[in-house]
Amino acid sequence: MSDLRDLYQETILDHNKRPRNFKKLENANRSADGYNPLCGDKVKVYLRVEDGRVQDLSFEGSGCAISKASASVMTESLKGKSVEEVESIFKRFRDLVMGKAEEADDLGKLVVFSGVCEFPTRVKCATLAWHALQAALQDTKEAVSTE
């Protein structure tokens, strides 16, 4: 039987209560919205991308503990990473929450989401902010496009 404590690990509860980088990024040059109509989770991810690197990122929105904590940990984990690194981390993170990861040691703090794979209905919550991030990265416009 899957244990709730595997899903709602302390770090997740903490990030849910006190989300990090939870604000609008004033000097962002990319942003994108994510919406999960199933549960009403809404997230907006802001990025400052320069020289192929995510120099800074933040998010705003409302949602369940999993989606909020996931967005929060994501912003902490990706600061300073190159766009290629971000893509690779996202792929491994997705494998992790879908239960397809062989090992997750190199994912750092993101491993707290390993319990999500026991709760298939929550995978979308865990990946919502990441999908928004990807949409923001694929936006080729350099200027801030959304207000």
Partner 1 sequence: MVKALHELKTADYRVDAFDVARIRRDFPILHQRVHGKPLVYLDNAATTQKPQAVIDAVGRYYSTDNANVHRGVHLLSQRATDAYEGARVTVQNFINAAESCEVIYVRGTTEAINLVAQTYGRKSVGAGDEIVITAMDHHSNIVPWQMLCDEKGAKLRVAPINDAGELLLDEYERLLTPKTKLVAIPHVSNALGTVNPVKRLVELAHARGVPVLVDGAQAAPHLKIDVQDLNCDFYAFSSHKVFGPTGFGVLYGKKALLEKMPPYQGGGDMILSVSFEKTVYNALPYKFEAGTPHIAGAVGLAQAIHYLLGVGFDAIMGYEAGLLAYATETIAALPGVKIIGTAKEKAGVISFVMDNAHAHDVGTILDQEGVAIRTGHHCAMPLMKRFGVPATARASLALYNTKEEIDTLAAAILKVREVFG
Query: What is the per-residue DSSP string for 109-126?
Result: GGGGGGGGGG-GGGHHHH
What distance in Å separates the CA atoms of residue 20 and residue 85, rounded to the nearest whole number? Answer: 21
Binding of residue 71 to partner 1 (CB under 8 A): no
Sheet containing strand 41-50, strands side by side:
30-36, 41-50, 53-62
Amino acid present at 121: T
Site for partner 1 in 105-134 (CB under 8 A): 119, 121-122, 125
Nearer to partner 1, 34 or 63 (CB): 63
Q: Which of 28, 32, 63, 112 binds partner 1 (CB under 8 A)?
A: 63
C-alpha 41/C-alpha 91 separation (Å) is: 22
Cβ proximity to partner 1, 30 vs 122, nearer residue: 122
The span of 19-27, 37-45, 49-57, 132-140 binding partner 1 (CB under 8 A) equals 37-45
Q: Under the rule (CB under 8 A), what is the footprint of partner 1?
A: 1-2, 4, 7-8, 13, 16-17, 37-42, 62-66, 68, 119, 121-122, 125
